[in-house]
């Protein structure tokens, strides 16, 4: 197959990365984005790569899988990672961005890339004979979702995530909330709201009593374990929150000189530092109830809410039934999927699947052999997971060490400490990744020249 143009549907995190990579490899791209003509329940702007919830792209600390994935993308010439570096805001060891500047920068780069044509319209059908990447995300429009269901031949699976609330900085009582990072790691970019035992007990019982937004359109609620709403965590036991998003470990309140009984962390949302989000406080309580209960958090008694927590849908396909590790459909090799819809979870994970789909769609268009990312790499591990996991119990995943292959034998035996073993896993992965990039980008150029 040799064609000179591909389609990418969805100008979110995965779609822009896919379009950018394909364009970099010499292919013309038509990138379809339905906003602003049609909005999703979570997006608010007409910008490409809009970040809908937390502004954090998670840890960028060497030795973590989250860093590994980012580093692979950086080495792979990722548009999204470059924009993140340019719009970074302080967040300790995490990579957080000013969401507006981030989306603006990516939109500008895409609009100015001569090989990409941006088309602002909702796509409602999947063309038969064109090379197409579907990157419409967890909130794919209804019409296209119906088409995807026909195409994949299996039922869609739904579950719910929820957005964390955001408060204005000047409404936080800083005589109560104190600046510190856990174990003083990575500066003191977080504000911490400390609870004593009595305050925690009151907050807990009010949270249990608070009214939720009813889940009407869906029969069944299946929460993603890593993104549970606080009221759901609270229902699991009185201390569950204290061991989860309200854990106080590593935080010393300068007023008492001790760790508080529990704590809520607030993370800076934008470069102006005028907004803070409540870390891990996604919930689906009614807005009035949120205001009442969250103002019981010490330091937030006068909080002004810029955004309340929300519930949202997450749509993803049963990838192990339909996808190959190239991100290509098994039955329709000219159709690729990318991003959260493939069953990865998270911003950077979505970008990585976009990167791989973009590279492979460009290779298909230019008649080159398609690539599987190295098994040891984080990108390869995610692609392997979505294409090979148990289809019956398929669940979205973040990148973790559990997905990476173990160290080869001599290293496994010789390195005893877990931390050092992990460090080595990351180093090996990056070495393989760099070699693979070198080899295969050269190969594509050779194929194109031929």
Nearest to ligand FAD of 43, 363 (CB atom) = 43
Give the binding site for ligand FAD (CB under 6 A). Answer: 9-15, 32-35, 40, 42-43, 52-54, 122-123, 135-141, 144, 161, 163, 312, 339-341, 346-347, 350
d(CA 8, CA 406): 35
Q: Which two tokens stand for residue 152?
A: 């994949």
Nearest to ligand FAD of 373, 428 (CB atom) = 373
Cβ proximity of 15 and 114 under 8 Å: no
Q: Report the nearest approach of ligand FAD to the CB of residue 443 (Å).
A: 27
Determine the Cα angle at 132 with ends 129 and 136, to 5°. Answer: 140
Dihedral angle, C-alpha 161, 312, 53, 165, nearest 10 °:
-90
Strands 5-9 and 275-278: unpaired
Nearest to ligand FAD of 25, 52 (CB atom) = 52
Q: Which residue has the tokens 């689906």?
A: 284
Q: Report the nearest approach of ligand FAD to the CB of residue 19 (Å).
A: 11
Dihedral angle, C-alpha 107, 113, 116, 117, nearest 10 °:
70
Nearest to ligand FAD of 8, 297 (CB atom) = 8
Task: Name the residue number minimizing CB distance to ligand FAD.
Answer: 12
Determine the Cα angle at 443 with ends 437 and 447, to 5°. Answer: 150
Which residues are bridge partners to 7 per DSSP? 30, 132
Cβ proximity of 433 and 99 under 8 Å: no
Nearest to ligand FAD of 136, 425 (CB atom) = 136
Q: Report the nearest approach of ligand FAD to the CB of residue 409 (Å).
A: 35
Handedness of CA 114, 116, 122, 125 (dihedral sign): positive
d(CA 305, CA 307): 5
Q: What are phi and psi of 32, to 5 degrees?
A: -100, 130
Q: Report the nearest approach of ligand FAD to the CB of residue 228 (Å).
A: 13
Q: Report the nearest approach of ligand FAD to the CB of residue 252 (Å).
A: 28
Question: From residue 52, how far is each of 39, 43, 318, 380 by CA, in Å?
Answer: 12, 6, 24, 26
d(CA 79, CA 373): 19
Nearest to ligand FAD of 262, 348 (CB atom) = 348
Nearest to ligand FAD of 70, 376 (CB atom) = 70
Q: Report the nearest approach of ligand FAD to the CB of residue 60 (Å).
A: 13
- Among candidate residues 78, 113, 117, 85, the one with its CA nearest the CA of residue 101: 85
Q: Report the nearest approach of ligand FAD to the CB of residue 277 (Å).
A: 9
CB atoms within 10 A of CB 169: 18
Nearest to ligand FAD of 353, 444 (CB atom) = 353
Q: Report the nearest approach of ligand FAD to the CB of residue 394 (Å).
A: 16
Nearest to ligand FAD of 41, 187 (CB atom) = 41
Q: Report the nearest approach of ligand FAD to the CB of residue 187 (Å).
A: 21
Nearest to ligand FAD of 295, 312 (CB atom) = 312
Q: Report the nearest approach of ligand FAD to the CB of residue 311 (Å).
A: 9
Q: What are phi and psi of 269, to 5 degrees?
A: -95, -30
């Amino acid at each position: 197959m040799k064609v000179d143009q591909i389609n990418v549907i969805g100008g979110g995190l995965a779609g822009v990365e896919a379009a950018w990579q394909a364009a970099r490899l010499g292919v013309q791209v038509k990138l379809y984005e339905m906003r602003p003509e049609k909005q999703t329940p979570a997006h608010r702007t007409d910008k490409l790569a809009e970040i809908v919830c937390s502004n954090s792209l998670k840890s960028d600390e060497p030795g973590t899988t989250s860093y590994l994935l980012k580093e692979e993308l950086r080495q792979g010439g990722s548009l999204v990672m470059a924009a993140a570096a340019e719009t970074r805001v302080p967040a300790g060891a995490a990579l957080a961005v000013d969401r507006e500047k981030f989306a603006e920068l990516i939109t500008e780069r895409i609009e100015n890339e001569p090989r990409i044509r941006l088309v602002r319209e909702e796509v409602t059908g999947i063309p038969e004979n064109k090379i197409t990447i579907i990157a419409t995300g967890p909130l794919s429009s209804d019409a296209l979702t119906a088409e995807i269901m026909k195409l994949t031949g299996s039922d869609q699976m739904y579950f719910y995530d929820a957005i964390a609330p955001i408060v204005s900085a000047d409404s936080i009582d800083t005589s109560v909330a104190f600046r510190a990072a856990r174990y003083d790691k990575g500066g003191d970019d977080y504000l911490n709201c400390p609870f004593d035992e009595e305050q925690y007990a009151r907050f807990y019982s009010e949270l249990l009593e608070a009214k939720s937004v009813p889940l009407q359109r869906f029969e069944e609620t299946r929460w993603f374990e890593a993104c549970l709403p606080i009221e759901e965590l609270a229902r699991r036991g009185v201390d569950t929150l204290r061991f989860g998003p309200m854990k106080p470990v590593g935080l010393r309140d300068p007023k008492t000189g001790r760790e508080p009984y529990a704590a809520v962390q607030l993370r800076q949302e934008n470069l102006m530092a005028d907004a803070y989000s409540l870390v891990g406080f996604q919930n689906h309580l009614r807005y009035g109830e949120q205001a009442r209960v969250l103002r019981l958090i010490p330091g937030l008694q006068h909080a002004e809410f810029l955004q309340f927590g929300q519930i949202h849908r997450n749509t993803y396909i049963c990838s192990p039934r339909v996808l190959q590790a190239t991100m290509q459909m098994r039955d329709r090799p000219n159709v690729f999927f990318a991003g959260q819809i493939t069953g990865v979870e998270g911003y950077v994970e979505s970008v990585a699947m976009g990167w791989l789909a973009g590279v492979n769609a460009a290779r298909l268009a230019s008649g080159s052999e398609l690539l599987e990312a190295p098994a040891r790499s984080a990108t390869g591990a995610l692609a392997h997971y979505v294409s090979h996991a148990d289809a019956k119990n398929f669940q979205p995943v973040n990148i973790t060490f559990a997905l990476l292959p173990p160290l080869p034998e001599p290293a496994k035996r010789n390195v005893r400490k877990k931390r050092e073993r992990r460090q080595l896993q990351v180093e090996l992965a990056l070495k393989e990744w760099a070699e693979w990039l070198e080899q295969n980008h050269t190969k594509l150029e050779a194929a194109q020249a031929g």
